[in-house]
């Protein structure tokens, strides 16, 4: 734990080095407002797909956004075409009772938000007003398909840092262990393929995001609201 003396020494140092970027005082290395040392993922025990690293996460976030789907004419099932989400810092909530259910609190706010409201404006409604960055998809560096990216290059203390992103590839996947597999998107672990923000990303504690189980030929593309916790290591 940081003592108040150390904290005040650090903030004096930040004042002296006045080139320090605007944003929360930087006692913790990352862009997080509080230490992530005690933040642990609550993973189901009966599986080997998602294995928690033994180090503390670099970032702990709640993601608020949409999953996009298109109707595949060959199967009449919706297939994923990517996602877009805003990621809010929840490092300061991790020792509070709000942490366990923050994804549900965030989803309720998001689900109630009128059309046209950006997720960016919602963090303050669920006690997580610091925007860490964005999650979206880019053409895959491999040349085939799309790849998920977590991009902190335009927000907070990382603003202007062109390496503060991670592009990743799925390395593990379990269906929602709470049993709502048709409603909540899978829990995932992904490995870094590009960028220096983190080496691994976990998506857990998902709320909503699944498409309807089938579609009719010619259905329009759809976007389904979701939230999840993201742990970056
Ligand atoms: C997802 O769909 C929304 C419209 O609902 C669109 O604005 C956004 O660009 C789409 N993103 C991706 C990655 O397909
Ligand atoms: C992901 O990274 C871990 C090491 O952290 C490695 O053991 C695993 O094989 C990787 N998975 C894939 C699919 O690359
Ligand atoms: C693992 O446990 C969860 C509950 O934690 C349960 O919903 C799920 O069906 C179990 N999966 C397997 C493969 O046993
Ligand atoms: C830029 O971001 C990367 C990834 O988070 C980090 O390793 C690096 O130290 C940052 N550079 C600066 C100048 O802050």
Q: Is the CB of 81 under 6 A from ligand 1?
A: yes
Q: What pLDDT does residue 43 have?
A: 98
Instruction: Tell me how crowded residue 1 is: count the other CB atoms within 10 A of its CB.
Output: 5
Q: Which atom from ligand 2 is nearest to the alpha carbon of 172?
A: 13
Strand partners, 89: 61
Cβ atoms of 135 and 84 closer than 8 Å: yes
Q: What pLDDT does residue 38 have?
A: 86
Strand partners, 169: 191
- What are 3-56's pLDDT values in tens digits? 333 333 333 333 333 333 333 333 444 567 899 988 999 999 999 999 999 999
Distance 180 CA to ligand 1 centre (A): 25
* Region of poorest pLDDT, from 21-35, 79-93, 95-109: 21-35
6: enclosing H helix or E strand: helix 4-16
**Of residues 210 and 2, which shows the higher confidence score?**
210
**Three-class SS state of 130:** coil
What lies within 8 Å, CB to CB, of 23 at 6+ separation is: 31, 156, 157
208: enclosing H helix or E strand: strand 200-208
Per-residue DSSP letter, 47: -
Residue list, ligand 4 pocket, CB within 6 Å: 158, 161, 163-164, 196-197
Q: What pLDDT does residue 32 have?
A: 76
Q: What pLDDT does residue 25 have?
A: 39
Q: Which ligand is nearest to the CA of 133?
A: 4
CA-nearest residue for atom 7, ligand 2, is 171
> Where does residue 162 rank: exposed (0-12), middle (13-18), buried (19+ CB within 10 A)?
exposed
Q: What is the mean pLDDT of residues 75-88?
A: 97
pLDDT band at 229 (very low <50, low <70, confident <90, very high): very high
pLDDT at residue 233 greater than cutoff 70:
yes
Q: Quickly count helices (H) and strands (E) in the chain.
A: 2, 8
* Region of poorest pLDDT, from 2-11, 62-71, 171-180: 2-11
Q: What pLDDT does residue 140 have?
A: 96
Q: What pLDDT does residue 31 have?
A: 65
């Amino acid at each position: 734990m940081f003592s108040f003396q150390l904290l005040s020494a650090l903030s004096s140092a930040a004042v002296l080095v006045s080139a320090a970027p605007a944003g929360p005082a930087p006692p913790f290395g990352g862009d997080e407002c509080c230490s992530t040392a005690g933040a642990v993922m609550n993973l189901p025990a009966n599986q080997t797909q998602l294995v928690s690293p033994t180090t503390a996460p670099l970032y702990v976030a709640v993601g608020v956004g949409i999953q996009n789907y298109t109707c595949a004419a060959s199967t009449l099932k919706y297939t994923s075409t990517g996602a877009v989400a805003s990621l809010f810092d929840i490092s300061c909530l991790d020792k509070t009772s709000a942490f366990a259910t923050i994804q549900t609190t965030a989803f309720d706010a998001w689900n109630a938000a009128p059309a046209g409201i950006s997720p960016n404006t919602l963090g303050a409604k669920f006690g997580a007003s610091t925007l860490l960055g964005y999650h979206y998809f880019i053409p895959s560096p491999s040349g085939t398909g799309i790849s998920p990216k977590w991009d902190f290059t335009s927000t907070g203390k990382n603003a202007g840092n062109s390496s503060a992103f991670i592009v990743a590839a799925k390395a593990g996947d379990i269906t929602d262990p709470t049993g709502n597999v048709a409603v909540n998107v899978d829990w995932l672990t992904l490995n870094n393929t590009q960028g220096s923000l983190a080496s691994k990303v976990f998506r857990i504690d998902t709320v909503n995001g699944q498409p309807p189980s089938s579609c009719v030929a010619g259905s329009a593309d759809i976007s389904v609201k979701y939230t999840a916790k993201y742990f970056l290591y």
